[in-house]
Amino acid sequence: MDVVESCSTPEGAVQAVHWCVSQGVDKLHVLKELINKHFRFQAKISSQPDLCTDILLKVIESGNDELLEVILPHVSEDFLLQNWVGKTLVTRLLCIAVENGNSKIVRLLSGRGAEGATDSSYRGRPMLHLAVLAGHLDVAGELLAAGADVMSTDIRRDPLLTTVISDSTEQRKEEKVVWLLKKGADPKACASSGKEPIHVAAAHSGPIIVHLIKAGCDVNTQDHIKGDTPLHIACARCCECAILTLVQHGAKFNLLNNHGETPLEKLLKFAQNVPNFHSKTRIILAKSLVKIGFECHQKIRAKNQHRGNSRRVGRNKVADVYKTVMATMKSTGGLQHLCRLKVRDEVRGQSFEKSVACLEVPKLVKDYLMFKDSPSSVTTIKSLADEL
């Protein structure tokens, strides 16, 4: 049968469209001629529902936006909005296009009734989450333009920004965070764990912490469950890059969480004074942190427990490790460094950097307060401590 024969039946014409789609873009010119001859007026490809559904699925799955652009105007609105396995057909098609990362197809479908479906879930995540996590930022941009909410949450009630930061895939993570912040994601929105994005970043990445601080996050904010600051979390995870970043952006070294622990105590909690690599790493880091001003309050708390006749079960392992660390310390910072710590403790305001910038002191002094005065590039806590 000639696919462009004018006397073909409507069913035959739709079958011819199906054949062209199966052949792919090589038959695009044939498809255009076929559409022009058989579907110029009121005739619709959707007059054959089963064939039309198969045609649309083949086009979406192949990612051929040229074919879709020719076919979609000749599919009725009612057909696209019919219920198909719990979602409208156009929403199902949109889900597949988002997963495949085809931004043009997403744009085409968004103009045909998918606008209200952009926050629908697919494979357990909102489509916007799926697109961003996969790195399809162009697709995510189309979803936002069609009405998706950048503050939508997943099934655990976690916002997208938090999910991206905690994602184990490091590829383009920083780029995704910057993109979300530019698109209006709230840098202080709490996750289901009670943590803000900066708490989550403290366990994973120093560079992301910098972007969150620029967006208005407080380096000393406490989470809503344990009262941990970002520095508590960075120390608990032994994330030296995050610790250094927080120190250089004004994090207070010895704030207490709801359990009366300082960040140093969180670091030593998992260093049980046994000869293994993990414990040694924490103890070496602890020595450098003590040198720049980190403290442990375990001995004080143990004394208070004794005075209150509180029964203590077992020995205080954190205090024991802390004693071991302090026994090997030969020197601490000089008077100038102690003055720096005192001034840092006294600086008030949500943003430490902005507060320091407002001080009427020379820039050299401001850099000194921020631990950024080193002529060489300080890349580790140890090098920072060695320069005291």
- Residue 41 DSSP class: S
Dihedral of CA 118/122/128/132: which sign? negative
**27 token code pair:** 């038959």
Strand partners, 87: 84
Neighbour count for residue 360 (Cβ, 10 Å)? 5
**Residues of the chain with pLDDT > 90: what percent?**
40
By mean pLDDT, which of 100-109, 289-298, 310-319 is the weakest?
Answer: 310-319
Q: Which residues contact residue 255 at a Cβ distance below 8 angstroms, ignoring those fewer than 6 apart?
A: 220, 222, 229, 231, 232, 262, 263
Averaged pLDDT of the chain: 85
Residue the block writes with tokens 């890059």: 241
* Highest averaged pLDDT of the listed ranges 10-19, 109-118, 188-197: 188-197
By mean pLDDT, which of 129-133, 253-257, 316-320 is the weakest?
Answer: 316-320
Quote the pLDDT of residue 376: 57
Band (pLDDT 50/70/90 cuts) for residue 275 is low
Q: Which residues contact residue 225 at a Cβ distance below 8 angstroms, ignoring those fewer than 6 apart?
A: 193, 194, 195
Q: Evaluate if residue 313 carries a pLDDT over 70.
A: no
Q: Taking residues 233-262, report their average pLDDT.
A: 92
Q: Closest Cα to residue 131, out of 148, 114, 156?
A: 148
Query: H helices then E strands: how many in the chain?
Result: 23, 4
Q: Evaluate if residue 105 carries a pLDDT over 90.
A: yes
Q: Evaluate if residue 242 carries a pLDDT over 90.
A: yes
Rounded to two decimals, the pTM is 0.84
Q: Does residue 348 sit in helix, strand or coil?
A: coil
Domains in the chain, start-ordered, CATH in brackets? 180-335 (1.25.40.20)
Are 165 and 189 a contacting pair, CB within 8 Å?
Answer: no
Q: Closest Cα to residue 314, out of 302, 296, 300?
A: 302
Quote the pLDDT of residue 307: 46
* Highest averaged pLDDT of the listed ranges 81-85, 253-257, 304-308: 253-257
Per DSSP, the residues of 245-292 read HHHTTT--TT---TTS--HHHHHHTT--S-SSHHHHHHHHHHHHHHHH
CA distance linking residue 156 with residue 134, whole number of Å: 19
Residue the block writes with tokens 């942190």: 289
pLDDT, tens only, 332-347:
668 888 888 888 888 7
Q: What are phi and psi of 166, to 5 degrees?
A: -85, -5
pLDDT, tens only, 344-367:
888 776 677 788 888 888 888 888
Band (pLDDT 50/70/90 cuts) for residue 25 is low
By mean pLDDT, which of 96-105, 118-127, 283-292 is the weakest?
Answer: 118-127
Are 30 and 38 a contacting pair, CB within 8 Å?
Answer: no
Q: Taking residues 80-104, report their average pLDDT.
A: 89
Neighbour count for residue 305 (Cβ, 10 Å)? 13
Are 238 and 341 a contacting pair, CB within 8 Å?
Answer: no
Q: Evaluate if residue 30 carries a pLDDT over 80.
A: yes
pLDDT, tens only, 123-161:
888 999 999 999 999 999 999 998 899 999 998 899 999
Q: Which residue has the higher pLDDT, 123 or 41?
A: 123
Q: Taking residues 40-60, report their average pLDDT.
A: 88
Q: Evaluate if residue 258 carries a pLDDT over 80.
A: yes
7-38 burial code (b ≥16 CB/10 A, e <16)? ebeeeebbbbbbbbbeeeeebbebbeebbeeb
